[in-house]
Amino acid sequence: MKGSLRYVLWPLYLLYKVYMLVIFFVVWAVFYPFVHFKLKDRDRHPEAFRIKVLWCKVLAFFWGNYYVIHGRENLFFDGPCVVCINHQSYSDIIHMYPVIPYYFKFIGKKELRKWLMIGVFFRKGMDISINRENAKEAMASLDEARAALRSGVSVAIFPEGEIPNDTPQLKRFKNGAFKIALEETVPILPITFLYNHERLEIPHRIFGKATPGKCEVIVHPRVDTQGMDMMDLSPLRNKIYDIINAPLIERGLSQSPNFVRNEDR
C-alpha cells in the first residue's frame, strides 16, 4: 500500500520539486549581488558566509521546512573542529547552514564546483572541493582544510563521501575527516540528520518523495582527539560512525552492519 501511495502522490512530489527549484533561483537572484563582491576578498568570506546562512534560512522557510535541533548547546565551544554529518539528500547542503551558527568551510566533492550557484563558493575558495580520484589534488584539498583549522576556522564534511543509494542507511565512512582531526588535534562534532531524505529523496528515484516539513537534527557532544595518534584512526572513525548512526537505528532508519562500519578505507 505504501509503495502504491508513492505513485499516486508522485504528481504532487513533482510539483513541489518544481516549486523548490523556482524558489531556489528566485532567492539566489536576490542574495547573489550581496555575496558576489564579498567573495572577491578572502578576508570578507565570513561576511559572505553570514549572507549564505540567511539565504539558506529563507530557502528553508519558503520550502516549508522548519528545524528541530536537539543538543544545540553542543554547537558552542572554543576553537575549531571537524564537523561530521550524515548525508541523506542534496538539500543537506542547504540545511546544514541554519544548524551550524559559526563560520566554517564545507568540504565537498569536486563536481560541486560545476553546480550553478553552489559552485561559486568553491571556485572562490570559500569552500573546499576534493577530487578523490586524483591523489595529488585530494592531498592539496586536505592541506587547505588543515590550513583552515590552523587559522581557527572549522571545516564540515559528509564522511560518507556521497548520498548512499539506500539512504537513510548509513554508508561506510572515508578516512579523510578523521586524518585531519588527528593531525591537527581538533575535536570532531558529530551531527545526525534524521529525516532530510523525506524532504527531498535522491534524484535517481524517479518517484522519490519531496515534501515540506520537519528537519530534525541531533548535535552530539564533541569527541576530543587529544592524546590520539594515527593508530587511533580506525577506532575514532568507527566511534563517530556509531554516534551518528545510533539515533537512526533507534528510529528504525538504519542498521548497524559491522562489515560497513569496521572495514578500513
Average pLDDT over residues 255-261: 57
Name the one residue in this structure whose C-alpha cell is 553570514.
50
Query: Is 169 strand, coil or helix?
Result: coil
What is the predicted pLDDT for the residue at 265? Answer: 42
What is the predicted pLDDT for the residue at 260? Answer: 52
Average of per-residue pLDDT values in the chain = 89
Q: Which pairs count as long-range contacts for 15-22, CB under 8 Å and 24+ apart, including other chains?
A: 16/210, 16/211, 16/212, 17/200, 17/210, 20/63, 20/200, 20/210
Q: Give the rounded distance of the alpha carbon of 244 from its chain centre.
A: 13
CATH (one of 3.40.1130, 3.40.30, 3.10.20, 1.10.3470) for 2-262: 3.40.1130
Helices (H), the chain: 2-39, 45-63, 92-99, 119-123, 135-150, 176-184, 196-199, 233-250, 258-262
Q: What is the pLDDT of residues 159-185, one digit of tens each?
A: 999 888 888 899 999 999 999 999 999
Query: Distance (Å, rounded) from C-alpha 158 to C-alpha 230?
Result: 20
Q: What is the pLDDT of residues 139-148, one digit of tens each?
A: 899 999 999 9
Q: What is the pLDDT of residues 62-71, one digit of tens each?
A: 999 999 999 9
Q: How many CB atoms lie within 10 A of CB 259?
A: 7
Task: Find, among 29, 10, 31, 32, the residue nearest to 21 by Cα.
Answer: 29
Backbone angles phi, psi at 202, to 5 degrees: -60, 145
Average pLDDT over residues 93-102: 94
Query: Is 201 strand, coil or helix?
Result: coil
* Residue spans per domain, the chain: 2-262
Q: What is the pLDDT of residues 222-235, one digit of tens each?
A: 999 999 999 999 99
211 against 206, higher pLDDT: 211
| For residue 6, pLDDT beyond 70 | no
**Residue 127 DSSP symbol:** S
Q: What angle do CA 256, 258, 260 make, to 5 degrees?
A: 85
Cβ contact 220:191 at 8 Å? yes
Q: Please report which confidence band the pLDDT of residue 27 belongs to, taking 50, 70 and 90 as the band edges.
A: very high
**Residue 235 DSSP symbol:** H
- Is 0.75 surpassed by the pTM of this model? yes
What is the predicted pLDDT for the residue at 9? Answer: 74
Q: Please report which confidence band the pLDDT of residue 259 belongs to, taking 50, 70 and 90 as the band edges.
A: very low
Give the whole-number percent of the chain exceeding pLDDT 90.
64
Q: Please report which confidence band the pLDDT of residue 245 belongs to, taking 50, 70 and 90 as the band edges.
A: very high
Query: Distance (Å, rounded) from C-alpha 19 to C-alpha 132?
Result: 34
| For residue 5, pLDDT beyond 80 | no
76-80, 130-134, 169-173, 233-237: segment of lowest average pLDDT: 130-134
What is the predicted pLDDT for the residue at 1? Answer: 40
Query: Distance (Å, rounded) from C-alpha 51 to C-alpha 236?
Result: 34
Contacts of 167 (CB under 8 A, 6+ apart): 87, 88, 89, 197, 202
What is the predicted pLDDT for the residue at 131? Answer: 85
